[in-house]
Every structure is written in structure tokens, then in C-alpha cells.
């Protein structure tokens, strides 16, 4: 496994081998969710690159950029075992040299949901993903469905700008009790950790209603809120959304594919999760 | 010469031939300035693509998008004679399908000079150039130095986003009397056309002072203004700039490479022009 910290080194190494290339972009501190991406990418491509870069541009000024957990040695051990070919782990100056001031603006989609609570977040995401795609030139790139809006932003960017990378969304990996895996789960105290699966239960409540035929957006959002509000350790609910995919506009009536998503705050952690409401998954839809 | 109006057709044709590819992006209505780009690109690449696309995203709401001159048949005749391999001439819906809302924001550089007078112009330029680069995947792309700030925006975008395209700036082609060639020169009445070379003379006045050692930005800008203000058919001066390259921040003292540039309005036309002040060009600099 090659580990490269500069664009030039990575590209020189890449040129020495031919074959299809998969990319798994990460911010490191890898968990089983990342490994699910890596394993799928390993199966689907001749060569596999994983990037590790905690991207300052996607953190707000009051967010956890400095505190974001990092453990490069452990990450490299994990990736070696998955037979990764290239790790691209640039420093901040390699990705954003002094004077960097060109940005990808993901438009309205970037201002909704996570974007409304984290202004500039998706501009930072889109910019770093575009740069990684340009530098690494993958055939396919793999993202976790847990960051559902991120998947939507990246897919749209690739389509609108003609980037020619296949975007693969990989189902969310969960703990046994339903909590979606996230590097930020380390911020939870034991009590918070025990209460955190309420987020997934709240999403399931909406999904259950929807699968029984409920199509009213407010009723579905209300079902999510009831579960969240029963959970005292949840200090704030940033949003509860039932939105159409892929544009993520909030829905009055759920008449097609949709995503139910939430963001809540619990102590130092901010937890996000979502479920896709896919009409094709309903009994009798085939 | 292949003429393609869709991304898929162009890319299918491109895949059938190997070799280095040059791209000359244009808005059509070709003149000798464009042909200088085409000829240099023809020499430097195995294969040559010219795009023709009047990009609505770079025109302001009160600008001349509808009126912009177009003559596809004549353009294709000219390009055939230059042994162009591919013409990519997409419709607006091919480049901006309904719902298009992903943009490249060129930061501060895009808000200066032309950007201050044409808000959003360089966002439109950067976005369409990025999309053309992604779709056409050229090794080199050729731009006229006449649009000097555009060259700076594109070079910076390519560097900041790691696009891997060599940007070649080609010296401005002028009429015998010094007027820089532009598709928009057709907007000039005969009287205005006769007066228009004052723009180039004004730039030359600053260059002459600079080559004799004048380094004060205000003095150089003043020399330009004097010539412009002597020309009654110039109705307004949008800006007179002496700015450092490549960032184009206005200079108090000219201590390194710089660009003197102007934009003026004359009837229906808005004329822009520039000269590079290159210290390496001075006598005794070698």
C-alpha cells in the first residue's frame, strides 16, 4: 500500500499502473461504515484509493475542526488489511495552498437541512470532492448514505459539471441498537450513547407510517418529533425533514421517492441520520 | 471535421482516436483573434477541438445575450479550413439541463474589474469552462490575452481545483490601427469604429511611461484616463486599472509583473483591452 501526501506523488504512482480506479474519500478515524465503502470499492475496481483529509473548508468557525478525532496509524493499519492500493493523505497546504479562493457553490440544495444549520458546509464539501476527483481521477467514488444530503450534493455536482465519475451510495452501517456509525459518536458520554438510538427509532416511526400508506408530510415529520421529544438527553432538534429525492425540497405529500432525515444535538455531539422512503420497496410495487 | 451537439456524441468520437488534445473555447462569430488561438493549438496538439457556445450564464440580465452575434455556417467553414478535428457546439439545455444549480465561484478575483461591472460574469465563465474541461478533457486550452482577467480566473481555477489542463494565453490580435479584435466590434458605428483605437493608444501611453521607469500606479492610470477623456465618443469609462498579476489587485507601486487594463462604453459596444507590463521585457533585464 502506497501512502502519498502530495498530488504529484500520488499521480506519479497512479500512472505506473493501469486499470479502473475506485476512490473512497474519508476524513479518517475509520469505522465499520467506512470499511463497508472500502470493501465494496475493492470488489468493483482494479485499483483502490482511499483519501484521508480532515477538510477545514467544511467546518464552520464554531465547529469541531480542531477536535475532530484523528488516528492515522490505526487508519493505515485498517486500510492495509483491506488491500487498499493507494492512500492519499495530503496536508492542508497541499489541498489549499495560500491564496486558495475558488469554490464550488452547490446552489439551493446546499442551503437546505444541514446547509441551513452549517452555512458553507456543502461549499466546502463540494470543493474538496471536486479537487479530489480532479487529482485522483477515479472511475467510481463511494459515499455513505448516512450523509444523505452530501450524496445528493455530490451526485448533482458531478452531473451538472459533467465530471464523469460514478457515485455509489452505500447503505448506512449501524450499531446493534440502531445508532448510525459516525466518527463523532466518540463525543457521546455513556448515558448519551445509551439514549442515542432514539434518533433511528424516530426515523423508523415515520417509515412505519409511510409503509402503511401515510403520505402527509406533516404527519410523518410529527411522528419523528414525538420520539425525539420523548428523549430528554436530546437537547435540541435542528431539523426533522421529509423531502423529495434528489432535490431535497420539503414535501407536503409524499408521492415519490423521499428521504426522512434528522439532526439533533446531544452534549458535544451533533447526530444526523436518515432513511430513504423508496416506493419500489413497498409490497405490491413490482 | 466532426460537429457534435451533445456531450455523449463528442465523447464517443473522442474515444475513437488517441493523441494529445487541444481545446479552443469560443462563443463563435469567429475573427482572426480566434484563428490565432486555433492555429497555435493546431501546431501544439495531435487533435484539436473548438467549442462554440454562447454561454448565457456569463451575461448579466441587462446584457447582450440575445443580441450577441452568431453565424454558425461561417464559423464552421473557417474551422474546416484550419483542419479542426472536432467542433463541440452544444445547445443551452445540453450544457445547463433544467435544474442546473452548481457553480464555480472564482472568489475575490471574480469581483474585481470586469467582475465589479458585470456581477456574476466570472462565475458563469468559470462554470462553463470547468464543464467544458470535464467534458472535453483537453491537455491544453487556449484563451486570448485580450480577456486578460478571464485568463487569470481560468488559470487560478485550474490550479486551485487541480484540473490538470495547461492554460495557454495567446497575444491579442489587433486591427492595423490598434483596435483589439472582438466579436462585439460589429456593434460600433463607422464613427465609433474610427474613434475606438483610442483605447489602445491610452494603454500605450501608460506602457510608454512604465518603460521609461514610471512606477506610480496613479500616474500610470492617469495617463490612460487623459487619452480616453480626449475621445468624445467614449461615453463612459468603467475602469482604468494597473494591477499586479496574477491576482489583479490594484497597485500603488508597480514593482513586478502587472497588467494595465480598461473598459469603456461607446454606444452599444463595451470595449475592453489590456497590456501586460512585464519587467522581463525591459532593456537590460536579461
Listing DSSP states for A44-104 in one string gives H-SEEEEEE---GGGS-TTSSTTTS---HHHHHHHHHHTT-SEEE---HHHHS-TT---EE
Phi, psi angles (nearest 5°) of residue B43:
-70, -35
> Chain-centre distance of CA B67, in angstroms?
19
Our CA-based measurement puts residue A125 at a distance from the nearest CA of chain B, in whole angstroms, of: 13
Contact (CB<8Å) A160/B100:
yes
The confidence score (pLDDT) of residue B283 equals: 80
Domain A183-275 has CATH 3.30.1300.10: yes
| A250, β-bridge pairs | A243
Longest Cα separation, chain B: 57
C-alpha cell at A223: 411522528
The confidence score (pLDDT) of residue B286 equals: 59
Q: Residue A211: which residues within 8 A CB-CB, separation 6 or more?
A: A282
Question: How far apart, in whole angstroms, are the C-alpha atoms of residue B70 and residue A15?
Answer: 42
C-alpha cell at A232: 430528554
* pLDDT over 80 at A73, yes or no: yes
Helix (H, G, I), strand (E, B) or coil at B28: coil
| B103, β-bridge pairs | A105
Question: How far apart, in whole angstroms, are the C-alpha atoms of residue A18 and residue A28?
Answer: 26
Q: Residue A99: which residues within 8 A CB-CB, separation 6 or more?
A: B247
Q: Across all residues in chain A, what is the average pLDDT? A: 97
User: What residue segments make up the domains of chain B, in order of their start?
Assistant: 2-170, 183-277
Residue of B nearest to A157 (CA): B102
Residue of A nearest to B98 (CA): A160
Task: Say if CB A231 and CB A238 are below 8 A apart.
Answer: no
Residues written for chain A: 286
Question: Which stretches of chain B are assigned E, i.e. beta strand?
Answer: 2-4, 21-26, 47-52, 86-88, 103-105, 140-144, 166-170, 236-244, 258-266, 269-277
Class in CATH terms, A2-170: alpha beta
Listing DSSP states for B32-57 in one string gives HHHHHHHHHHHHH-SEEEEEE---GG
Residue-wise pLDDT tens digits, A160-197: 999 999 999 999 999 999 999 999 999 999 999 999 99
Q: How far is CA A32 from CA A48, A85, A174, B161, in A?
A: 17, 19, 9, 30
- Selecting from B102, B108, B134 the residue whose C-beta is nearest the C-beta of A106 gives B102
The CATH topology of domain B183-277 is 3.30.1300
Residues of A with CB under 8 A from a CB of B: 7, 97, 99-109, 123, 126-127, 130-131, 134-135, 156-157, 159-164, 247
Contact (CB<8Å) B101/A160:
yes
pLDDT of chain B, 286 residues: tens digit per residue: 999 999 999 999 999 999 999 999 999 999 999 999 999 999 999 999 999 999 999 999 999 999 999 999 999 999 999 999 999 999 999 999 999 999 999 999 999 999 999 999 999 999 999 999 999 999 999 999 999 999 999 999 999 999 999 999 999 999 999 999 999 999 999 999 999 999 999 999 999 999 999 999 999 999 999 999 999 999 999 999 999 999 999 999 999 999 999 999 999 999 999 999 999 888 876 5
- Selecting from A108, A134, A164 the residue whose C-beta is nearest the C-beta of B101 gives A108
Amino acid at each position: 500500500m502506497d501512502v502519498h501526501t502530495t498530488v504529484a506523488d500520488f499521480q506519479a504512482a497512479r500512472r505506473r499502473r493501469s486499470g479502473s480506479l475506485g476512490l473512497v474519500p474519508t476524513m479518517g478515524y475509520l469505522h465499520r461504515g467506512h470499511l463497508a465503502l472500502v470493501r465494496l470499492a475493492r470488489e468493483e475496481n482494479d485499483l483502490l484509493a482511499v483519501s484521508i483529509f480532515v477538510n477545514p473548508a467544511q467546518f464552520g468557525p464554531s465547529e469541531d475542526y480542531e477536535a475532530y478525532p484523528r488516528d492515522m496509524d490505526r487508519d493505515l493499519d485498517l486500510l492495509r488489511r483491506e488491500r487498499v492500493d493507494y492512500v492519499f493523505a495530503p496536508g492542508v497546504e497541499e489541498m489549499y495552498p495560500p491564496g486558495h479562493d475558488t469554490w464550488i457553490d452547490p446552489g439551493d440544495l446546499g442551503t437546505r437541512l444541514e446547509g441551513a444549520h452549517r452555512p458553507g458546509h456543502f461549499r466546502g464539501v463540494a470543493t474538496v470532492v471536486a479537487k479530489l476527483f480532479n487529482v485522483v481521477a477515479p472511475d467510481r467514488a463511494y459515499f455513505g448514505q448516512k450523509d444523505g444530503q452530501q450524496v445528493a450534493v455530490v451526485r448533482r455536482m458531478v452531473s451538472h459539471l459533467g465530471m464523469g465519475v460514478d457515485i455509489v451510495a452505500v447503505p448506512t452501517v449501524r450499531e446493534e441498537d440502531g445508532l448510525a456509525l459516525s466518527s463523532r459518536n466518540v463525543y457521546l458520554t455513556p448515558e448519551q450513547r445509551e439514549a442515542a438510538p432514539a434518533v433511528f427509532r424516530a426515523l423508523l416511526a415515520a417509515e412505519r407510517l409511510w409503509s402503511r400508506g401515510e403520505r402527509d408530510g406533516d404527519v410523518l415529520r410529527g411522528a419523528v418529533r414525538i420520539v425525539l421529544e420523548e428523549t430528554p438527553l436530546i437537547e435540541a432538534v435542528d431539523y426533522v425533514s421529509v423531502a423529495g429525492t434528489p432535490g431535497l425540497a420539503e414535501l407536503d405529500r409524499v408521492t415519490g421517492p423521499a428521504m426522512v432525515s434528522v439532526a439533533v444535538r446531544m452534549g458535544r455531539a451533533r447526530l444526523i441520520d436518515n432513511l430513504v422512503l423508496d416506493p419500489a420497496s413497498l409490497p405490491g410495487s413490482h
